[in-house]
Amino acid sequence: MLLFSVCVDESGTLDLKHIPRVSTTALNRADLLQKRGLYPPPSGESEILGLEASGVITDIGPGVKENWKLGSKVRALLGGGGYAEYVAVPEEHVMPVPSPLTLYQSAALPEAWLTAYQLLHFIGNMMSASVRFQYSLKVSNGADVILDCVGGYFWKKNICSITIDGRWVLYGMLGGKTADGDLLGKLLRKRGNLLCSLLRSRRLQYKVELVRSFTEQVLSHFKSTDPPLWPVIDSMFNMEDVEMAHQRMQANKNIGKIIIKIINS
């Protein structure tokens, strides 16, 4: 299935929302699924692809409470609509662009980094965990938390690796939807906790709290002259070449984020 461009009306200023002109979006696996009709947007969200974007604020709703200004460079977590020139975003889902980053680089942050942050601190409670998971890790007690975007056939490795009372957080199924064998029995014997998480379908207030916590706890680590955190960019495509970008991800060729330029900036 191929992507194609269409003209739609601008959303207009909504009371509690910003209207950034989108400079850049980034590709996510959800885009590939939605294109195939396998991952429809939640009710009320745009049917246009794109779960994150960076750009410049061009309009501010009259009910916006925060001290944002026209022309501010921002990045945003979206329920959809990133593959467009303009997008309406709830003010609480908008984040400033850290000064060392370009708009292109900052588009790589919202979906992937907020997903990772929520898995570690909101879902897996990683702050209280003593062992970080690697399949090559040699720890007799096993891993306290496993973050799994593979699912399917990987369940056996997860069961072998998890500690007693450990937490297995499933947030993707790149390895398939089925798990053959004694999954439940082996998980029960280890008293394992299987947790499942999606970010896109979360309620508005959950995302508000997530964005606020991420901004307070993580954003400053991008702002130094030698920042300890930095987005990993695999490649960059113009919007007219977005189908090539999708093919690259579908073939599992990317290491890092694939960036889509909506406009030059």
Question: What is the reported pLDDT for 179?
Answer: 87
Question: What is the reported pLDDT for 118?
Answer: 94
Question: What is the reported pLDDT for 193?
Answer: 93
CA separation for the pair 17, 149 (Å, rounded): 32
In sequence order, what are the residues at sequence separation of 6 or more whose Cβ sits closer than 8 angstroms to the Cβ of residue 127?
Answer: 120, 121
Whole-angstrom CA distances from 202 to 32, 115, 205 are 20, 11, 8
Q: How many CB atoms lie within 10 A of CB 55?
A: 30
Q: Do 261 and 24 contact (CB within 8 A), yes or no?
A: yes
Burial 226-235 (b: 16+ CB within 10 A, else e): eeeeebebbb
Phi/psi at 152 (nearest 5 deg)?
A: 50, -125
Q: What are the residues facing 193 on neighbouring strands?
A: 167
Query: Which regions of 27-72 does DSSP assign to beta strands (E)?
Result: 52-60
Q: Do 117 and 210 contact (CB within 8 A), yes or no?
A: yes
Question: What is the reported pLDDT for 51?
Answer: 97
Torsion angle (degrees, nearest 10) of CA 209, 205, 27, 235: -20
Question: What is the reported pLDDT for 169?
Answer: 92
SS3 content of the chain, % helix, strand, coil (to 5): 30, 25, 50
CA separation for the pair 120, 122 (Å, rounded): 6
Question: What is the reported pLDDT for 84?
Answer: 94
Question: What is the reported pLDDT for 242?
Answer: 96
For tokens 């394992």, what's the residue? Answer: 192
CATH no. for 117-196: 3.40.50.720
Closest CA to 112 of 253, 257, 213: 257
Structurally, what CATH architecture does the domain formed by 17-109+203-261 represent? Alpha-Beta Complex (3.90)
pLDDT 10s digit of each residue in the chain, 265 long?
Answer: 556 555 656 555 566 677 889 999 999 999 999 999 999 999 989 999 999 999 999 999 888 887 789 999 999 999 999 999 999 999 999 999 988 899 999 999 999 999 999 998 888 775 454 444 444 455 568 898 899 999 998 999 999 999 999 999 999 998 888 888 899 999 999 999 999 999 999 999 999 999 999 999 999 899 877 888 999 999 999 999 999 999 999 999 999 999 999 986 5
Residues of the chain within CATH 3.90.180.10 domain(s) are 17-109+203-261
| Distance from the first to the final alpha carbon of the chain | 30
Closest CA to 124 of 197, 229, 175: 197
Phi/psi at 95 (nearest 5 deg)?
A: -130, 145
